[in-house]
Amino acid sequence: LKLMATVYHTQTTIQVLLSAADYVAALDLIYTTKDLLSKELSGVHCFRHLTSELNEIIKMIDALMAGEFERCSSADLNRPLVGTDFEVLEKDKLFSILMGMLRRKNWAFLEAYSKECETAISAAIKKSVIDTIANSDVDHQINQSSNLESYLHCLTTNEWLNMLEDCSFTLSLLLRRIKVS
């Protein structure tokens, strides 16, 4: 009876763990409960639907972890590049999410992180180019409908070199941040 009472309170405990973003503990509890249901409580009629409910909770946890991972990695990679600030934001939360994804053997986070890195690199380069054009001696009245390419064609050699130096410096900072995370 004690075991049945413990299993009965599993869903409440899972909700508490998920509210604390403790995905690994929630998954461990689910797997332990599923193991108990299949071995020790296999004939108990009142728990016949609990395994499918736990499977649905696992799917929900997968979606929560994917969303949180994308939010954390995006916030970390897209914050301003200032000096030597290479520490990962929300390191403990990100670690918990990654451990949960690894526990589930869910490797989709690698693709998501790769895309987020590409987006951050693209944004950093674009910002450097725009800053260079804004600080250049290029006649900003070339044409109201001119695109970025038109302005780039009008940069002097020194302005091009300064832009490349700025892009290289910005990318080196961003790559250090990526390496740390």
Residue-wise pLDDT tens for the chain (181 aa)? Answer: 676 777 777 888 998 999 888 899 999 999 988 888 787 766 666 666 778 888 999 999 999 999 999 998 888 888 877 766 667 778 888 888 999 999 899 898 899 899 999 999 999 898 888 888 888 776 655 555 567 777 777 788 888 898 999 999 889 888 888 887 7
What single DSSP character describes residue 73? Answer: H
For the chain, the residue count is: 181
Q: How far is 11 from 16, CA to CA, in rounded Å? A: 9
- pTM greater than 0.95: no
Q: Which of 48, 146, 61 is nearest to 96 (CA)?
A: 61
Q: Which of 24, 159, 41, 167 is nearest to 99 (CA)?
A: 24
CA geometry: angle 10, 11, 17, nearest 5 deg: 90
CB 113 within 8 A of CB 178: no
Backbone dihedral angles phi then psi of residue 153, each to the nearest 5 degrees: -65, -20
